Amino acid sequence: MPDPFTIRIFVPDGDPEGVRLIDRMNWTGIGVVFPRLKWPEIKKRSEFSRTGVYILVGDLGENDDLRTLYIGQADEIGNRIDSHYKHKDFWDWGVVFVSTSGGLNRAHATWLEYALVNRANSTKRCRLDNSNAPSEPPLTEAEKADTQSFLKEILQVLPLVGLRSFEFARAVVTPGTTSGEAPSKVSSHKLDTVVVPAKKDGFEKVFLGEDCWYSIRISGGMLDKIKFIAGYQSHPISAITHYARVDRIEPYGESGKYRLVFSEKAQSIQPIPYGDAPSGAMQGPRYTSFEKLKSAKRLTDLL
């Protein structure tokens, strides 16, 4: 179990949506969360004159599932952010981490930048605006241990300010490990299958190639019921052509959507055509039972 901890948030201007200073007992660092709109009036704060690491965050647009981040570091962090304020349009808010004791130097900040970029690439929960991935800078064994401890503190703070892009997704449901029944034994009356629409390229790349499907919005009552997923390929195929057993369901992005990971390769079935289904019947996920999926001759047999 992780160790419990206390975090302190100070709001210097009294506006919860404005600048927030984040610190913890016995930590030599401090985090500053700020909205882009406030930058011209807050950039003279003393924290921005120090060496540190920063993350600029582009919040989700209407059709975005993943946030866009830029991760950087600098000796005088405010000068670098000021340049991004003038030349980068994507970001809406930022968070800065500096040392309160002066213990972070340029090498430490460069290592933190390297570690955060590496972790963001590993978690796959954001899009990075960084054009290049930095190389790991050389640190002594003692310096690296101290900087890793600083990184641990950063990673504990970030989810508490609304940024989960550096966390590895944890399964919210694991039907592949909790259900051992064979598909032929599943009740015909039980909604246990989600049918998802897909375009040809995405279907082949993700559903068949990556053994998963993501960016699905699932109503809360269905999360613990889904055991199978079926893929409906849009025009010109216009039919359900494959299914797979779901191993686990994980959060995807930060907009309430999910990623379904298969327990095995998707299997082909006799195509179930759109037929006489009403217009718009497959514009989003639909729920059915696996027994109906096996016996259906057309889409309306499922819905």
The whole-number average pLDDT for the span 144-172 is 94
Task: Point out the least confidently predicted range of 179-183, 221-225, 258-262, 285-289.
Answer: 179-183
Whether 82 shows a pLDDT value over 70: the answer reads yes
For the question of whether the overall pTM of this predicted structure is more than 0.95, the answer is: no
Give CA–CA dist 263/225, Å, rounded: 16
User: How many Cβ atoms from other residues are within 10 Å of residue 37's Cβ?
Assistant: 11
Whether residue 115 has pLDDT greater than 60: yes
- The answer to whether residue 154 scores a pLDDT higher than 90 is yes
62: pLDDT strictly greater than 80: no
Mean pLDDT of 75-103: 95
pLDDT value of residue 186: 46
Kindly report the average pLDDT of the chain as a whole number: 92
| Confidence band of 188 (pLDDT split at 50, 70, 90) | low
Beta bridge partners of 291: none
Q: Binning pLDDT at 50, 70 and 90, where does residue 178 land?
A: low
The arithmetic mean of pLDDT across residues 193-221, rounded, is: 94
Say what percent of the chain tops pLDDT 90: 80
pLDDT of residue 132: 87
What is the distance between the alpha carbons of residues 186 and 291, in angstroms, rounded to a whole number?
7
pLDDT number for residue 254: 80
Contacts of 203 (CB under 8 A, 6+ apart): 231, 233
